Amino acid sequence: MYKIPSNIEKKGFWNVDGLENKNVFLRSCLNVSVDKYGNLLDESRLKESIQSIVELAFKSKSLIVCGHLGRPKSCEQNLSFKKNVLPWITENLNSKGFNVIFAESLSDIPPKDQRNKSNIYLLENIRFFKGEESNDRKEMIKFAESLAETSDIFVNDAFADYRVSASTYEIAKLLPSYIGRSFMKEIEALSKFYDPPRPFLCVLGGAKLSEKLEFLTTLAEISDKVLIGGAMAYTLLKAKGINIGKSLYEEDKVSLARELIKKHSQKMLLPVDHVISLEFSHSSQVTVTKSAEVPNEYFAIDIGPKTLEKYLEEISNAKSILWNGPMGVYEWPQSSTGTSQIGESIVKNKEAFKLAGGGDTIAAINMFSLSGFDHISMGGGAMLVFFSCDKFDTIDVIVNQYS
């Protein structure tokens, strides 16, 4: 688990002297769920991020806000902020007396001495900019330099956006850098898990085992049990030699999954039955399997009733619970039960310390109106990095600055 540096409190932006004379560059978490047309599906991350945006807009000389949306390969229109983030932010900042100036390029932002305090500059999806995530480190640094030139200090409020990039990492080496309030809130909440009351249960789901594989070993080591659902379960079941029919899985991860199961077979619980369907569609007819095997022509789209019963029992006995990832295609009525029941049973366990996190998990929490978590983290991958690694690049680069 990541060990929080002792001097971290000092790195909150509220410790900056003379902030009213500073031009601030803020990295926010704006990575919201959108549909294929770019329509906003869940605004939780915007609601969280707007708080620091407003606070910094009032306190600083000028403010530039940036963030990313999705994983664009080029400037895909559904991932442009114009369709989703910009209207939401504009509406919410106008009501506070600020104008939002949308900047598709850095040249749309006036020089420091020509900015108006009532204007907040919102940069287009930062992943549209060449250099942000470049494999060529020199190109990434060059882009970070051009971002840094616009401002006097850098504030990172995007706990969720933990990957190294120009706007999350390299810029922090170039400007006096600080952590935002929302980011700090995440660190404080997650640190309560340093010595979790036992049994400590991890509930993991979601589509991609590849994104969780490197964390699963540590999570299995530090927790008492890991309950697995969602599409990631099918790569693990495949590795066990179980027929998964046409269910989604990651072929290139099967051999690693096999090693993982060998090492942690006692602690890792996998589905023993499934809700299955002949079509992968929101209105398909479903049936339930009698065992862990999925017939050849079928897709598994949710955990089945026997699995659910077993998982609910584990959840009711747990004293700490970490939940990341849905158990199935929770957006479809016929495959929402696994995720909704798991979520409901977690919040029903009043004695346990309950933490949930990640974009899909938050969307499911909102969809099923679940309340009672001790903390809902905006970060999914970030939360897993925090729990399983001894470094957290975007924090370390700020606290180690000039040391």
Check: CB of residue 367 under 8 Å from CB of residue 333.
no
Question: Which among 163, 177, 170 has a CA at the least distance from the CA of 147?
Answer: 170
Instruction: Say which of 142, 163, 208, 319 is annotated catalytic.
Output: 208
Please name the amino acid found at residue 334: Q
The verdict on whether 380 is a catalytic residue reads no
Residues 70-89 that bind ligand 3PG (CB under 6 A): 71
20 is in an annotated binding site: no
Pairing of strands 286-288, 274-277: antiparallel
Angstrom distances, CA of residue 243 to CA of 91, 194, 399: 51, 39, 49
Q: Does 381 bind ligand 3PG (CB under 6 A)?
A: yes
**Ordered DSSP codes for 351-402:** TSEEEEESHHHHHHHHHTT----SEEES-SHHHHHHHH-S--HHHHHHHTTT
* Span interacting with ligand 3PG, options 139-147, 156-164, 189-197, 319-327, rule CB under 6 A: 156-164
163 makes contact with ligand 3PG (CB under 6 A)? yes
From residue 23 to residue 42, what is the string marking binding to ligand 3PG with x (rule CB under 6 A)? --------x-----------
| End-to-end CA, the chain | 23
Q: Which of 131, 205, 304, 380 binds ligand 3PG (CB under 6 A)?
A: 380
Give the active site residue among 11, 22, 27, 45.
Answer: 45
CB of 192: closest distance to ligand 3PG in angstroms? 21
Nearer to ligand 3PG, 163 or 263 (CB): 163
Of 136-144, 248-256, 307-315, 377-385, the window that binds ligand 3PG (rule: CB under 6 A) is 377-385
Beta strands in 117-162 (DSSP E): 119-123, 153-156
Per-residue binder mask for ligand 3PG (CB under 6 A), 330-359, x = binder: -----------------------------x
Spatial distance between the Cα atoms of 206 and 81, rounded to a whole number of angstroms: 25
CB 24 within 8 A of CB 153: yes
Q: Look at the chain and count its residues.
A: 403
Which one of 206, 229, 304, 359 is the catalytic residue? 359
Tell me, yes or no, if 67 is annotated catalytic: no
By CB under 6 A, the count of residues binding ligand 3PG is 9
Task: Say whether 45 is catalytic.
Answer: yes
Q: Quick check: 160 binds ligand 3PG (CB under 6 A)?
A: yes
Q: Catalytic: 304?
A: no
Contact 148, 154 (CB under 8 A): yes
Q: Provide the annotated active-site residues.
A: 45, 208, 359, 381
> Interface with ligand 3PG by CB under 6 A: which residues?
31, 71, 160-161, 163, 359, 379-381
Residues within the annotated binding site? 212, 331, 358-361
